[in-house]
Structure 1
């Protein structure tokens, strides 16, 4: 340390330090007089340099270039305006020149006044042949100059106008123009469900003179339009409008007139997107007064939160839960998937709400027979309570809306109270025992929900064996994911082709087969192809080993594979995309249907059931009115019947329809 203090700094280093110190002082005392000569002298060059750099300004040429570039960036309309002003300036200057210098020979004539000179100058700008009639050389040269300027300016204007039109057309193709429609159905988001939803809305709007469906999604407008027009062949009276934008941005929602929509459907890849979209809608319509909203959710927690926080005007549809409930219903009885599909789509019979003051004071049993072309399911009370299959002696009150199944709202008509027909003696039918062994082939996130729904209907004698491919799912994680109370679960890891899987399954007797599609590691096409081959293999096994009446239910991921599933011989098939889309479309038309279907899907609510016709008198039933009266006597609501020999399910036949039901036939009832 002593040595360092004794060594003097080098002159260069000392000079650099001094320069730095002086420099700092010079900057800190800029604008004030220095106290030392050396300090002032050292600071002067730096200050001067800084001042000169700060005082330098761009020249006129640079400013004009900057103004020109800025104008171009603002779009062609600004440039068109500039060119128009420049054209007017050229005409004005030419007219002044001709007037001041008294040029003669314009079209071979004498000296012109300012007005005529202005007119002749304008003609030469817009028409290149006008100056051919000039007789003097000064006028000819001036005419040639202004004509050349006109050619340049007119060409530029025409090009810019054409470019502006092209940009406008391109903007329209991108789907960024405003929608002025009102009373439209608005779909926010895009997924594989949207084409099915749109096709159902087209059928729902068939009775309207002009219906409109607007789709807003962050997809290419042309791609959405092409796909929708490819899958929905005939739009009937409905007009389709597609726009591109973000569903969670209020400005984009105003683009499609969200405030003027009569119903809104929100589909999304995640619950986060759905929730942000709801908040964006709420920023425009805080209480959802203009339109009720139907949203698709992925999780039960998001479903419960949305229902709790956004109020009754927002209806949720949990797609996996719906598919699981319908799969469980189809496993209970043959034909039930067809029944629900018929109730959910618009092509055929559907559910309607209507007030009929004529039924006030009459019982529900009397009202059931008063509608020739429709069947009653229940009522919506004045305080908003949905009651399906009320007791037959329930007296209908003023303000009640009847819930009925009809082919169209025009056929849901009151025909007058009639006397109940004579009811035949019915046999007492013992409850049939449920299946004792069920096979589940394949696995996905839907599996635990399906088994939880089945568990509500089955007993402790039932064993469910799950056969899963270890290459497609984590087999060890299957059993911990299942929560059941009644049935016993067995899990087997087995890979191979469909024929090998079915051969392995046939080592034990089974009563039912549920085939679930693998969703996670393969495409939907591959999953459905595997499901269809598995169905064929199981049908061959059942026939070869003469296993008897084995019910086979399959889940398909794509609606277009439905005809192929019919050809495989499956008893029932559940199309995931289709059923959820049908329900969403129904709820968008009438959100009160949410209460109806929630009751039907609830294990503690009313159930749709196919019961033996002999339980209602079978062969003694002459018309469907007799069937309705016989079911009503047992506090049940008859919706139709099923022919055992063909498997055909008939829903909502006319009351006067003659029936011939036998021991193998069934009656479709609510109970």
Structure 2
């Protein structure tokens, strides 16, 4: 069979491509031929149509050459061949020099822009905040730092992560929007390299925050980052305060040692588990914690008050009309909700909840108290709890431990999960340690299937906790929240079918999914990363508050509680908030706010009011709740 002949066009194209493959000389040659093919004919047309040019062919060709030389900057000299060649040589040298100079300048600018785009230049700031690492928490942390610095003249937040600088800037800009006077600076590189850490100038920073990334080895990475930070600060005259987060308590000691004596290390899983259990016992606490931790409302401050020295702590509770006193800081030891008879020492600092550090103004409010409406009866006795735990993740054993610590006789926890032998082993281990006050039962089933939930009498439980799976490498990071939303949708269907509201507490990873969650107004949503981010930002502004928050979120210590308003004032009575504060003082508690049943459906606070003025007059309904700092 005769071989098929290759088309001429394909052969010409192949030959052309082959010449280009020879490199720059071939490319320059083709560019020269292309230019001549256009310029020479165009110059000839101009010359032959110009009546002022002599008609002789010699003069016309000389004029064509002259125009071609001027156009291509090759020199336009005419005359003897030697003159033409020398003119052409000088023009080529000039062209080579100018082209090389332009190329060098372009290359230098390109390299500089590339370096800037990669985030490899050193930050020259003082007193700035440095954030090391990238996760969902970074948006909460940076936004809270921006809010905290809103009244400052010039501040900066430098973020260093092993990600593309442009992508980080776009993500922060999209999530945070306008940042006011605070400049956001992103630098790219591994946080475990001391040389890269130096790009953020940690020695001159006001605070350094270390965040865990979203991978399974995040805690080891945090420890290594803290060691790299120590190496980067070696020889520095001062060290900035360091605040870090680890997930697993097994890495807590190593992280503390790496952070140094002045560092603060938080255990995010433990704190999250405690907050979920607290919210399960009293729905609404998640909203209270968020109100206390963000900089948008009232937050914790340490205040020195010389006029109260020597007086009992109970007097301080009614000494601030627009601030709520919750304890004292004695040295480095927080005394939250001490006995009202505790005397205030000269070096004690009051722990107050107030709008800003200058709004704690002293003024006696004792005259506002109406003793006639103060409730005198005992609180309702605590009952046994029945908790339904739907789903399983690494924080579930910590939650069961928290439930066991506070279990009343007859309490029970039912777990529904389909995670196989690992879950069974963890549940059995928790059951072996649960003692006699807590009954623990494991049910096998997929919590995203309707038949699984229909087999359970969900309305018989005092609280329902919905957990998403742990993220799996290679799996979509949205998968845990997607499964949680499906489970919530099924629970919502059961609520609508029976007309009875379920006391649901759920944990979500992404804050954007909160608005998608199909839950009733009384349900609580814990955004674990956001709460830890808020806590990080608070401590970064005042490290002494770390001890306060550790006590506040401890398993057996003094914490935030919700109590029925009828424990403090008579039902349907109209009285100022100062009366509630006085009633709480009689019970050995510090009242810091309330949750209005009438406003429980109104977003975004859902009835939660933190630190109302002592003069605020309202009618207290039977369903209202008082927010206090106290113990169970």
Name the TM-score class by shorter chain: 0.7 to 0.9
> Structure 1 CA distance, aligned partners of 2:587 and 2:412?
33
Matches within 5 A, 1:8-87: none
Provide the residue aligned with 2:311 in structure 1.
362
User: 1:364–1:284: structure 2 CA closer, same or farther, 3 Å change rule?
Assistant: same
Q: Does 1:584 align with 2:543?
A: no
Contact kept, 8 Å, 2:370 with 2:575, in 1: the verdict is: no
CA gap of 1:507–1:240, structure 2 versus 1, over 3 A, is: closer
Do residues 555 (structure 1) and 507 (structure 2) align?
yes
Q: CA deviation at 1:503?
A: 0.2
Change (3 A) 1:502 1:165: same
Q: What pairs with 1:412-431 in structure 2 (closer than 5 Å)?
A: 412-415=360-363, 421-424=369-372, 425-431=374-380
Q: Does 1:535 align with 2:488?
A: yes
| Distance in 2 between residues matched to 1:549 and 1:352, nearest whole Å | 38
> Are 2:276 and 2:526, in contact at CA under 8 Å, matched by a contact in 1?
yes
CA distance in 1, matches of 2:383, 2:346: 43
Closer/same/farther in 2, CA of residues 508 and 184 from structure 1, 3 Å limit: closer
- Equivalent residues in 2 for 1:264-413 (5 A)? 264-269=208-213, 270-285=218-233, 289-307=238-256, 310-381=259-330, 383-413=331-361
SS in 1 for 2:150: helix
CA gap 1:306/1:357 in 2 versus in 1, 3 angstroms? same
After superposition, give the CA deviation of every residue in 1:647-666 in whole Å (9 maximum; x if it has no partner).
31211001111121132222
- 2 CA distance for matches of 1:400 and 1:182? 31
For 1:608 and 1:313, the matched residues in 2 are separated by 27
Equivalent position to 2:100, from 150, 153, 156: 156
Tell me if structure 1 keeps the 8 A contact 2:369–2:576.
Answer: no
Tell me the matched-pair count. Answer: 542
Measured after TM superposition, the shift of residue 255 of structure 1 is 1.4
Which whole-Å CA distance do the structure 2 matches of 1:226 and 1:416 have between them? 51
Partner of 1:494: 445
- What is the rounded CA distance, in whole Å, between the counterparts of 2:385 and 2:553 in structure 1? 23
Higher relative contact order (CA 8 A, sep 6+): 2
Instruction: Give the conservation status (yes or no) of the 8 Å contact 2:393–2:468.
Output: yes
Per-residue CA deviations over 1:105-153 (Å, capped at 9, x if unaligned) read xxxxxxxxxxxxxxxxxxxxxxx99998999999998676445322211
Q: Note the 1:212-251 alignment, pairs <5 A.
A: 212-251=156-195
* Partner of residue 460, structure 2: 509
Question: SS of 1:347's equivalent?
Answer: coil
Matched residue of 1:659: which SS?
strand
State the 1:515 CA deviation: 0.8
2:550 matched to 1:602? no
Query: Is the 8 Å Cα contact of residues 282 and 288 (structure 1) preserved in structure 2?
Result: no
- In structure 1, C-alpha distance between the alignment counterparts of 2:246 and 2:448, rounded to whole Å: 34
> Aligned-pair distance for 1:598?
1.1
CA distance in 2, matches of 1:554, 1:316: 26
1:448 and 1:175 mapped to 2: Cα distance?
41
- Cα deviation digits, residues 537-556 of structure 1 (max 9, x gap): 2233245446x664111111
- Contact 2:283-2:505 within 8 A present in 1 as well: no
Q: Higher helix proportion, which one?
A: 1
Matches within 5 A, 1:197-216: 197-216=141-160
TM-score (norm 2): 0.79
Match of 2:59 in 1: none
Partner of 2:434: 484
Q: Mapping of 1:455-494 within 5 angstroms?
A: 455-470=404-419, 474-482=422-430, 483-485=433-435, 486-494=437-445
- Other structure's SS at 1:405 match: strand
Does residue 653 (structure 1) correspond to residue 606 (structure 2)? The answer is no
Unaligned runs of 5+ in 1: 1-127
Query: Once structures 1 and 2 are overlaid, which stretch shifts more, 223-232 or 282-291?
Result: 282-291
SS class of match (2:455): helix
Query: Which of 608, 611, 616 is the matching residue for 2:563?
Result: 611
Question: Counterpart of 2:149 in 1: which secondary structure?
Answer: helix
Deviations 1:45-75 (A, max 9, x none): xxxxxxxxxxxxxxxxxxxxxxxxxxxxxxx
CA contact (8 A) 1:455 1:487 kept: yes
Change (3 A) 1:129 1:152: closer
Whole-Å Cα distance in 1 between the matches of residues 342 and 80 of structure 2?
Answer: 107
**1:314-340 superposed Cα distances (whole Å, 9 cap, x missing partner):** 111111111101001101112111111
Match of 1:643 in 2: 596
Distance 2:312 2:386 in 1: 44
The 1:183/1:436 distance shift into structure 2, 3 A limit, reads closer
- Give, in whole Å, the separation in 2 of the partners of 1:665 and 1:365: 24
Which moves more between the two structures, 319-328 or 582-591?
A: 582-591
Distance 2:591 2:442 in 1: 40
**Do 1:539 and 1:569's aligned partners in 2 also have CA atoms closer than 8 Å?**
no
**For the residues of structure 1 that align with 2:115 and 2:310, how far apart are their CA atoms?**
61
Change (3 A) 1:625 1:135: farther
SS of corresponding position for 1:660: strand
Q: SS of the residue aligned with 1:206?
A: coil
Report the Cα offset of residue 639 of structure 1: 0.3
Distance 2:530 2:122 in 1: 31
Q: Which residue of 2 aligns with 1:114?
A: none
Residue 174 of structure 1 is aligned with which of 118, 122, 127?
118
Q: Residues 621 and 660 of structure 1 are in contact (CA less than 8 Å); yes or no, is this contact kept in structure 2?
A: yes
1:60 counterpart residue number: none
| SS of the residue 2:413 aligns to | strand
Paired residues of 1:535 and 1:569 also in contact (CA < 8 A): no
1:450 and 2:410 matched? no
CA distance in 2, matches of 1:378, 1:308: 30
Question: Structure 2: how far apart are the matches of 1:347 and 1:300?
Answer: 31
User: Secondary structure of 1:207's partner?
Assistant: coil
* 2:129–2:205 CA contact under 8 A, matched in 1: yes
Using the TM superposition, give the Cα deviation of residue 498 of structure 1 relative to its aligned residue in structure 2, in angstroms: 3.7
Q: Distance in 1 between matches of 2:169 and 2:75?
A: 53
In the superposition, the TM-score normalised over structure 1's length comes to 0.75
Any conservation in 1 of the 2:74–2:92 contact (CA below 8 Å)? no
Preserved contact between residue 475 and residue 493 of structure 1 (Cα < 8 Å)? no
Give a deviation string over 1:611-645, Cα, whole Å, max 9, x none: 22222223556111121122122221110112234
Q: Are 1:375 and 1:404, in contact at CA under 8 Å, matched by a contact in 2?
A: yes
Are the equivalent residues in 1 in contact too, given 2:393–2:467 (CA < 8 A)? yes
Alpha-carbon RMSD across the aligned residues, in angstroms, is 2.9
Q: Distance in 2 between matches of 1:375 and 1:415?
A: 12
Shift of the alpha carbon at 1:197? 1.3
User: Structure 1 pair 507/242, CA: closer, same or farther in 2 (3 Å)?
Assistant: closer
